[in-house]
Amino acid sequence: MSADRQPSHIAALEAGGTKCICAVGRTPDELRLLANRLEVPSDSGPQQVLARITAWLSTQHAREPLQAIGIASFGPLDLDPASPSYGSITSTPKPGWRNTDWLGEFARTLPGVPVAIDTDVNGAALGEWQWGAAQGLDDFVYLTMGTGIGGGAMVGGRLVHGLLHPEMGHMRVPRIAGDDFAGVCPFHGDCWEGLCSGPALQARTGTAAHGIAADDPAWGYLLRYTAHAIGNIVCTLSPRRIILGGSVRKAGALGEAAYFAGLRRELQRSLNGYVTSAALRGNDEGGGIDDYIVPPALGDEAGVCGAMALAQRRVALQP
Amino acid sequence: MSADRQPSHIAALEAGGTKCICAVGRTPDELRLLANRLEVPSDSGPQQVLARITAWLSTQHAREPLQAIGIASFGPLDLDPASPSYGSITSTPKPGWRNTDWLGEFARTLPGVPVAIDTDVNGAALGEWQWGAAQGLDDFVYLTMGTGIGGGAMVGGRLVHGLLHPEMGHMRVPRIAGDDFAGVCPFHGDCWEGLCSGPALQARTGTAAHGIAADDPAWGYLLRYTAHAIGNIVCTLSPRRIILGGSVRKAGALGEAAYFAGLRRELQRSLNGYVTSAALRGNDEGGGIDDYIVPPALGDEAGVCGAMALAQRRVALQP
């Protein structure tokens, strides 16, 4: 975007496992305004969600033309531009959402408006890189723990796609002795997501995350499994920072601060001094582990701001 | 390198857990000549290894000036150019090798010759990208399973470094029910390397890998743990191909072909259809899993060729 031009008018769609948030504006601040956004529960299914969102966006577009649409969606997604199902959800365990064609639907209802699409977590990573906790860092990971668990990664300033896109939540972790919870992932049972997502916590305790007592052993399990998973990410991607968003981090009666403190301690235990870096040490003088695993600076707006960042980049790349 | 110039005369050093190989030449083929190479067992310790290599290289340099030195070394390494210990080995469990200063030693004995250094596996990845099984692929992983287990990764055409460099061998994997082998990693016990390196196989069976019978249950454990680890890499980095080198893959009486066939089958079981890609399916029409996990095209020369590739890149980057 050239300096003398006003920022583009953009639609940002964050499609999450619990709700889909659509917002329009020119800046992250504008996205937050109530008049500029629509929220639809994901459980109402893709037909309903798409119908409401495209109707609302058509009204917005008639009022002031949208210059791009950014979609940051849960997955797995087909992100291969050469594929016939490019821009669709593929093998999701989420009932009804398989083969939802985001890109096709927007191309049909808002023809001529360029659409950028990536995973919810790659989008959130880009948003945090542009406006949040990853500014100035070209190698970092954005994780979300909520209805599902996912991770987006930037390496050398580029979002990681490769064969498909990362699916970090489905990583396998060692089981803790004495824990016989089977896990809830329909594909893998006790992968990280199967053990530590919001629905997993609910299945384990019979209570939603926000209702679990601070001394419930579920938190200890969750922190130790998550520390092993994050340790595996450190061993594989060697990120300079890990941003952890999603609803689970709010950790009910345990609280977000205790959750992050526990996670940092358990990560140090899991790595056991093998990865030698000041970034993973105690935080007495700053720059240590307290700055290594952090919540998103954009808070719960990381996803929708990320969708805007995806769209802005798309507009900037246009001739 | 411009087209009208002869390739540079280069020293390539592969420092592995078992032996250090130093070779000189202008092309990968030249590196293979017996007169152009020196091998020193790593167990003789860093003083002895460095003394023999630098003496030999000084002779080579006097005969024909070396234009660059490439080092592909086991780690962990300090690869931060701003650090006082840049170019040194750091927290290795390998006896005697901690704080070995590769870069300082070569700067002292061969002053003025530019030195490039990276991990053995990043080096091998670059070698396979330039001359081997990763040609044309900008997103792939090179793994080695031998004295240790390590992984190098290219993402979007760049070798992954980030905070430090990947240490994939120290990833945690779920334990297989009924297997009570404690693992041999001094930092983590039963991490992937602790369960599946050459020394781990030897500790489990009392025999070196090449002496283990084809029907020994150790192979089944090794393949299943390794498939979970590779599955975790697929979930985290989403590579387009995985090249698996190192001595363990030769798999004694089981044989390399059966080892790769078993690994491909176990990877499909571990992912259980979640990551949807033709690259992970059966191989009836080519382009499937048989092309997804492959041995290095450069064979046991991947490391030393990789060291040459690191040096060539260094020379090419010079003004």
pLDDT digits (tens, 9 = 90+) for B128-141: 999 999 999 999 99
Strands A10-15 and A68-73: parallel
Which of A166, A270, A272 is opposite residue B237, by nearest beta carbon?
A166
Distance CA A289, CA A291 (A): 5
Strand pairing class (A293-294; B10-15): unpaired
**Has residue B2 got a pLDDT over 80?**
no
Instruction: Give me the residues of chain A with pLDDT under 70, please.
Output: 1-5, 283-286, 319
- Rounded to a whole number of angstroms, the distance from the CA of B312 to the nearest CA of chain A is 21
3-state secondary structure of B159: strand
**What pLDDT score does A1 carry?**
45
Give me the interface pTM, i.e. the ipTM. Answer: 0.93
d(CA B132, CA B127): 7
Q: Give the whole-angstrom CA distance, residue A131 versus residue A141.
A: 15
* pLDDT (0 to 100) of residue A5: 67
Domains of chain A and any CATH numbers: 10-122+300-316 (3.30.420.40), 133-295 (3.30.420.40)
pLDDT, position B285: 59
Q: Give the neighbor-by-neighbor strand order of the sheet with B10-15.
A: B37-41, B19-25, B10-15, B68-73, B115-119
Contact A238 B171 (CB under 8 A): no
Q: With contacts defined as CB-CB under 8 Å, which chain B residues touch A163? A: 139, 234, 238-240, 275, 277, 279
Contact A231 B156 (CB under 8 A): no
Cβ contact (<8 Å) for A155 and B158? yes
Q: Dump the DSSP string for chain A.
A: --TTSPPPPEEEEEE-SSEEEEEEESSHHHHT-GGGEEEEEGGG-HHHHHHHHHHHHHHHHHHS--SEEEEEE-S-B---TTSTTTTBB-S-SSTT-TT-BHHHHHHHHSTT--EEEEEHHHHHHHHHHHHSTTTT-SSEEEEEESSSEEEEEEETTEE--TTS---GGG---PPPTT------BTTTBSSHHHHHSHHHHHHHHSS-GGGS-TT-HHHHHHHHHHHHHHHHHHHHH--S-EEEESGGGG-TTT-HHHHHHHHHHHHHHHHTT-S--GGGS--TTSSSGGGTEE--TTGGGHHHHHHHHHHHHHHHH--
Amino acid identity for residue A318 in this structure: Q
Give the minimum alpha-carbon distance from A26 to chain B in angstroms, rounded to a whole number.
30
Residue B5 contacts A, CB cutoff 8 Å: no
Kind and range of the H or E run holding B235: helix B217-237
**Are A240 and B162 inside 8 Å of each other by CB?**
yes
Matching residue, tokens 């280069």: B10
- Determine which helix (DSSP H) or strand (DSSP E) holds B119, and give its type and residue range: strand B115-119
Question: Is B171's CB within 8 Å of A274's CB?
Answer: no
Residues in chain B: 319
Q: Quick one: average pLDDT of B282-307?
A: 89
* Distance separating the N- and C-terminal Cα atoms of chain B: 11
pTM over 0.90: yes
Q: What local confidence, expressed as pLDDT, does residue A319 receive?
A: 58
Nearest C-alpha neighbor of A73 from the set A124, A19, A15, A20 = A15
For residue B75, pLDDT beyond 90: no
Q: What is the pLDDT of residue B142?
A: 98
Arithmetic mean of pLDDT, B8-35: 94
Q: What distance in Å separates the CA atoms of residue A263 and residue A245, rounded to the nearest whole number?
A: 13
Residue of chain A whose Cα is closest to the Cα of B177: A175
- Please tell me the predicted confidence (pLDDT) of residue B264: 96
CB contact under 8 A, B279 and A238: no
Q: Which amino acid is at A75?
A: G
- Angle, nearest 10°, between helix axes A217-237 and A256-271? 50
User: Residue A224 in contact with residue A265, Cβ under 8 Å?
Assistant: no
Contact between B161 and A276 using a beta-carbon 8 Å cutoff: no
The yes-or-no verdict on residue B319 having pLDDT over 80 is no
Q: Are A307 and A5 in contact (CB under 8 A)?
A: no
Give the pLDDT of residue A116: 96
Mean pLDDT of chain B: 93
Q: Are A42 and A71 in contact (CB under 8 A)?
A: no
Residue type, B26: R
